């Protein structure tokens, strides 16, 4: 749940977010899902196919996601992720922030719609970069000219009706 009425935290600027993404080599998606209807699945498919990152999945209820192992926790990963991308419920976010701190991650990223100032303060006090209410996929695509995926920006402006069949 996102509470937009009492936001006091100020997130990084676009150049700062770009710098975070440029420093990042590995991303752990906490709350990754094997369900193609979930946003985490969509983000994972994008990151695997269109980014240079090593991507790891954390979901204690899954064995594999997109053919890759799913780990029970950040501590179970074979590497220390540079960036922890959280797809978890609001009340779980401070715990995810603490796990990210405990494993030595460099950044905590709360997905679009996720805003938790306590989790952000916890992570920032431990020296992590924090981004909230932004999508890693959208931000990566924005900075690398890939917003055409999923219909965000085709790069083509036209008033012509698209032909779907052989008619008309």
Token readout for 158 is 């036209």
Packed helices 136-144 and 14-23: angle between N→C axes, nearest 10 degrees: 100
Strand order in 129-131's β-sheet? 64-65, 68-71, 54-58, 26-30, 83-86, 107-110, 129-131
Q: What is the pLDDT of residues 8-66, one digit of tens each?
A: 899 999 999 999 999 999 999 999 999 999 999 999 999 999 899 999 999 999 999 99
Length of the chain: 168
Of the chain, the end-to-end C-alpha distance in Å amounts to 46
Q: Where is 82: in which H helix or E strand?
A: none
């Amino acid at each position: 749940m996102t509470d937009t009425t009492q936001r006091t935290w100020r997130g990084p600027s676009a150049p700062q977010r770009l710098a975070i993404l440029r420093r990042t080599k590995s991303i752990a998606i906490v709350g990754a899902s094997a369900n193609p209807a979930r946003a985490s699945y969509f983000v994972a498919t994008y990151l695997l196919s269109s980014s240079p990152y090593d991507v790891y999945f954390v979901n204690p209820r899954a064995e594999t996601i997109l053919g890759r192992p799913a780990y029970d926790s950040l501590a179970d990963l074979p590497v220390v992720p540079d960036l922890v991308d959280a797809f978890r419920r609001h009340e779980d976010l401070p715990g995810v922030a603490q796990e990210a701190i405990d494993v030595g991650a460099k950044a905590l990223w709360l997905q679009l719609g996720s805003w938790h100032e306590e989790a952000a303060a916890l992570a920032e006090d431990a020296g992590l970069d924090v981004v909230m209410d932004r999508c890693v996929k959208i931000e990566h695509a924005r900075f690398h000219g890939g917003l055409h995926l999923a219909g965000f920006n085709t790069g083509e402006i036209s008033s012509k009706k698209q032909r779907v069949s052989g008619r008309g």
